[in-house]
Structure 1
Amino acid sequence: MRQKKTLVALAAVLVVLAALTWLLRSCNAKEERRQQEEQQNLADTRVLETEEDQTYSAISYDNGQVNLSFARDEAGEWYWVDDPDFPLNGYYLESLSKQVIALHPMQTITEGDTLEAYGLEEPAASLKATADGGKETVLLFGKTTSDGSYYMKLADSDTVYVVSSELRESMNKGIYDMAEIPDIPTFTGANLRTVRVKGPTQDLTLSVEAGEEDGAASWIFGDADVTDHETVSALADELASLRFTACVDYRPTDEAVTLCGLGSPQVTMTVYYVPDGSAETTFKMSVGNATADGEGYYARMEGDTTIYSVAKDSVETLLALAAGGLTA
């Protein structure tokens, strides 16, 4: 009899536990749905009440390090206000515009701490966007949150938002990060004719001849066929992938040119080549000192005073030839 009562009691306990488990799961499911709905509502909300096809005629920002201003010309192209001739890549401003328009709050704080607590009493960064109609919108950025997001507010409102870091990090770009970098022609055995490499102590010329039957290129140095020479093969590979990696100085002073080693370059390369369907053309590039980070070299091309950088491994053979010539 006692055993039967014990079993009944245990069964009752199990029923209660099952009910509590169901209730807990139900509450958790409701809370999860509530949070999902809240997140969806935030995702559907934009900080700015603008049309998604809104366009801006001017954008300026201060990221705490630099203050940059941009505007559109009559053709709708972006330019840097301080120097309209600067080769600005408008992609960055188009991207910035879209990020401003699509800015979603991850959290909205209407009743919270003081603006000082969020770093918004004296904002660390700001962005002003001017719509085509002349309306100005100013975004102020404060401290970061524990997950790397930012506190932000509009200049004409005390509502504080928590927003993702995307827009704020996009504002970290300096003007040279936005420069349009020119392409270096692609040099192959099919279009190369002559490559001249001139250094302080060496001056050598390599001729390139395309095979009549198989089209394979032959490299000639003096009277010798050096196609299979290890150094020549490495040079051909460098030429095929040569490119500028960054804009370093758009309008360099004579002092900057000297500092970068381009007053007396380590090597000057002149390439004679034939682009598809064109007459023979010349490309000339000089390489100076190693960059400050040691990852590349300063360089510039004929007809352009801008100083660029090239990757270290893209000119190693070129520099070796300029220093030591072509050895057997």
Structure 2
Amino acid sequence: MARKKKKAGTLIILLVVLILMILLYFLVVNKNKEEVKTEDTISLSTIESDQVTEISYTMNGTTLTYRKSDDTWIDESDTKAPINQDNITNMLSEISSLTAEKMILEDAKDLSEYGLDKPALTINVTCDDETTFEFCIGDSLVVGSGYYAKLSDSNTVYAVEEGIYSAFNYTQTQMLAIEEFPTITTTNITSINVNKNGRDVFKADYDQSASDAGEYYAWKISKPYSTVQKGDPSQFDTYLGSYGSVTLSECVDYNSSDLSKYGLDKPSATIDLSYYTETTAESSTTDDSSTTDESNDSTSDTSDTTSASEDDTQEEQTIRTDYKLTLLVGDQNDDGEYYVQVIADGREYENAVYTIDSSTIETMLDITAYDFVYNVVAQIDIASLDTLTVKADGKTYELTVAPNPDKETEVKEDEETAKDTDTTEDADSTDDTDSTEDSEEVPEYLYYYNGSEVEETAFKELYEDITGITTTGNIKKEVSDTTPVYEFTFTRNSDEFEELHVTYLPYDGVNFYRVSINGEENFLVEKTAVDKVVKSISGFSSK
């Protein structure tokens, strides 16, 4: 009996499960109504792109209308506005090839289930034959990607891909064409000035004449320092690279009459750039260099002579064009992007306001002048040194480089010997080789410490330590004590070089000295580094 009851209970449970599964099946079918499918996509539009003369679409309660004028699309509400023609092309492409992935429901009674009672996007297209096409897009699909959509003259609901919605998902400002930031080759930048809150925090110019003369440190920094400082080329290369790939995000106002809305009536920062471009052009030159032999005039062919006398050649010419650009930086929008204006020659919309990514602007403005300074205190080549005088702890030390008189004598003797080489070249060649091998090379310079000749290598090692002292940063506080701790005077061996006076002055008494270079104080040096060099000078002896 118990066994029969157990079997009956099991059958009842199975029956209940079966009924529930059947109910669930019909519930899903009736609720989603998405089981009406076709194997192939459904064509919704047969419009050709070149037939369309007007596009109008409504999104978020705003209607935008664009009309074709000749071959250019213009904004019906502002015919002077620069319109992004690529956006229009994309819209036309989506409309002309509009298809549905499947039919959801034929003749739907309740469009609100699909967001089509109040469409998120309504598209109206007018063709050159006055025919129109209207299409509505509602909610996103419950399952998968895409949207519910319908034609205006039918309540049949379709599923369409995301592309049609994305093609029209633009506000009026987003439809404005962006006048690109000028293309700048960063190695062609010749000047930069960064001003923040009305103060020049960094100004540098590239000295082309110095570069042409072989000077490596051709960048000259004039602000914020009172005297021009040499710039480190590697630092400039890194920083200026940020100007070679600037992208303007959006044109928010192509002809702004109220810059205060963007904080551009009083910009928080201004960046001025000078740069140039180079183009190559071919020029024709004529070489009229041939002559005719008078004795052969009677037999010369006139046409051949004329052809030979005018030899046209093509030569490439590099044409340089200089430009100036000013970037004005205003407030930030809700997305953190900066409002900017780009002022430059040749730009069509001078009053246009753009947005630009915050990281781009912050890279340009996050600049510390000292990071670009070549920080060697005394870059004096030993080949140009006559005497270095060092005053330290009440004593004076002199390091001198002088031409070797024996070297001068040797040169004169070699010149006199060379006069006789033509008559004795063969006989003396073997003897000259032997004498050269036996003789020692005479040094060109002699080196002295406090008047006594010293060994060249030791002298150069000490001098390398002296000229290896570097600055560590800007002076950050005023110190009244002007009593020199150490004084270095570099006298040069030619009038074309100026003397260099370096004075190390008290600062904090622990970590740093102020350094005065030809009377100008801008930087700090490590106290221990200078003290160590001075100790080497005072205790120097030839090795």
Q: Tell me the distance in 1 between the aligned counterparts of 2:239 and 2:323.
A: 19
Q: Tell me the distance in 2 between the aligned counterparts of 1:143 and 1:123.
A: 8
Q: Tell me the distance in 1 between the aligned counterparts of 2:67 and 2:52.
A: 8
| CA apart distance, 1:282 | 1.2
Contact 1:189 1:208 in 2 (8 A): no
Contact 2:250 2:356 in 1 (8 A): yes
Contact 2:193 2:200 in 1 (8 A): no
After TM superposition, the score normalised by the length of structure 2 is 0.47
Amino acid at match of 2:51: T
| CA apart distance, 1:136 | 0.7
Amino acid at match of 1:308: Y
| CA apart distance, 1:292 | 2.3
Aligned equivalent of 1:315, options 361, 371, 376: 361
In structure 2, relative to structure 1, the CA distance for the partners of 1:248 and 1:234 (3 Å cut) is: farther
Q: Tell me the distance in 2 between the aligned counterparts of 1:250 and 1:57.
A: 24
**Alignment map for 1:139-178 (pairs within 5 Å):** 139-146=135-142, 147-178=144-175
Q: Which residue of 2 aligns with 1:3?
A: none
Contact 1:72 1:79 in 2 (8 A): yes
Q: Which residue of 2 aligns with 1:99?
A: 94
| CA apart distance, 1:203 | 5.8
- Is the aligned partner of 1:246 residue 2:250? yes
Aligned equivalent of 1:136, options 110, 132, 137: 132
In structure 2, relative to structure 1, the CA distance for the partners of 1:315 and 1:119 (3 Å cut) is: closer
In structure 2, relative to structure 1, the CA distance for the partners of 1:301 and 1:110 (3 Å cut) is: same
| Sequence identity percentage | 21
Q: Which residue of 2 aligns with 1:284?
A: 326
> What is the total number of aligned residue pairs between the two structures?
282
In structure 2, relative to structure 1, the CA distance for the partners of 1:217 and 1:99 (3 Å cut) is: farther
| CA apart distance, 1:127 | 0.4
- Is the aligned partner of 1:225 residue 2:230? yes
Q: Tell me the distance in 1 between the aligned counterparts of 2:215 and 2:153.
A: 68
- Is the aligned partner of 1:299 residue 2:340? yes
For residues 86-107 of structure 1, the C-alpha deviation after alignment (integer angstroms, 9 at most, x for no partner) is 1111111111111011111112
Aligned equivalent of 1:78, options 66, 69, 73: 73
**Alignment map for 1:189-208 (pairs within 5 Å):** 189-199=186-196, 200-202=198-200, 204-208=202-206
In structure 2, relative to structure 1, the CA distance for the partners of 1:122 and 1:202 (3 Å cut) is: closer
Contact 1:241 1:314 in 2 (8 A): no
Give the SS at the match of 2:173.
Answer: helix
After TM superposition, the score normalised by the length of structure 1 is 0.75
In structure 2, relative to structure 1, the CA distance for the partners of 1:190 and 1:169 (3 Å cut) is: closer
| CA apart distance, 1:160 | 2.5
Amino acid at match of 1:237: G
Amino acid at match of 2:264: L
Amino acid at match of 2:341: R
**Alignment map for 1:174-185 (pairs within 5 Å):** 174-185=171-182
Q: Which residue of 1 aligns with 2:115?
A: 119
Amino acid at match of 2:178: I
Give the SS at the match of 2:219.
Answer: strand
| CA apart distance, 1:50 | 3.6
In structure 2, relative to structure 1, the CA distance for the partners of 1:204 and 1:177 (3 Å cut) is: same
Q: Tell me the distance in 1 between the aligned counterparts of 2:113 and 2:186.
A: 64
Q: Tell me the distance in 2 between the aligned counterparts of 1:241 and 1:66.
A: 35
Q: Tell me the distance in 2 between the aligned counterparts of 1:189 and 1:149.
A: 44
Q: Tell me the distance in 2 between the aligned counterparts of 1:314 and 1:65.
A: 34
Q: Which residue of 2 aligns with 1:186?
A: 183
Q: Tell me the distance in 1 between the aligned counterparts of 2:124 and 2:133.
A: 6
In structure 2, relative to structure 1, the CA distance for the partners of 1:312 and 1:121 (3 Å cut) is: closer
In structure 2, relative to structure 1, the CA distance for the partners of 1:121 and 1:201 (3 Å cut) is: closer
Which of the two has higher C-alpha Rg? 2
Contact 1:196 1:269 in 2 (8 A): yes
| CA apart distance, 1:177 | 1.9
